[in-house]
Amino acid sequence: MRQTIELSTSRREALIDITARVTEILQASGVRDGIVHIYAQGATAAIMIQENWDASVPSDVVDLLRKLIPPGIWLHDEQDGNGDAHLKAGLVGPSETVPIIDGKLGLSTWQGIFFCEFDGPRQRRTIVCTVLADPTA
């Protein structure tokens, strides 16, 4: 089963918790055991599994990446001013795969699934969620 999540972003850089939306897709699938793959479409976006209990953690991730990869110094900035966004997205990566265990996401207590925006704000971002059942289950 494959479904998309669409969202808009309001800041240039942000981590947006999409765990509840991925959970809804999983529940609609009826899959009890398998995997769910979450993929951010776009060269300046990413997916990250991170702590979702303390709001300071996503902010710290954004701050760290700003320090590691500052804007305005990259060759690609001459094209459209978002060289840092491409590098951040490449470093974090476009996807994550989460096990499905007894019909639930196999995340630990404090983990969540985050969409990472590095080149916003954007009216439309698309995330592809693919749910695969374990054929032996």
Q: What is the pLDDT of residues 110-131, one digit of tens each?
A: 999 999 999 999 999 999 999 9
Share the mean pLDDT of the chain.
96
Rounded Cα–Cα distance for residues 16 and 122 (Å)? 13
Q: How sure is the predictor about 137, in pLDDT bands with cuts at 50, 70 and 90? A: confident
> Before 135, cis peptide (omega within 30)?
no
CATH classification at residue 113: 2.60.120.460
The pLDDT of 21-49, averaged and rounded, is 98
| Positions of E strands within 12-57 | 14-17, 34-40, 45-51
Which domain, by its residues, includes 60?
Answer: 2-133
Q: How sure is the predictor about 75, in pLDDT bands with cuts at 50, 70 and 90? A: confident
Torsion of CA 116, 122, 124, 128, to 10 degrees: -20
Q: How sure is the predictor about 77, in pLDDT bands with cuts at 50, 70 and 90? A: confident
* Stretch (H or E) spanning 115: strand 111-117
Q: How sure is the predictor about 136, in pLDDT bands with cuts at 50, 70 and 90? A: confident
- If one counts the domains in the chain, the total is 1
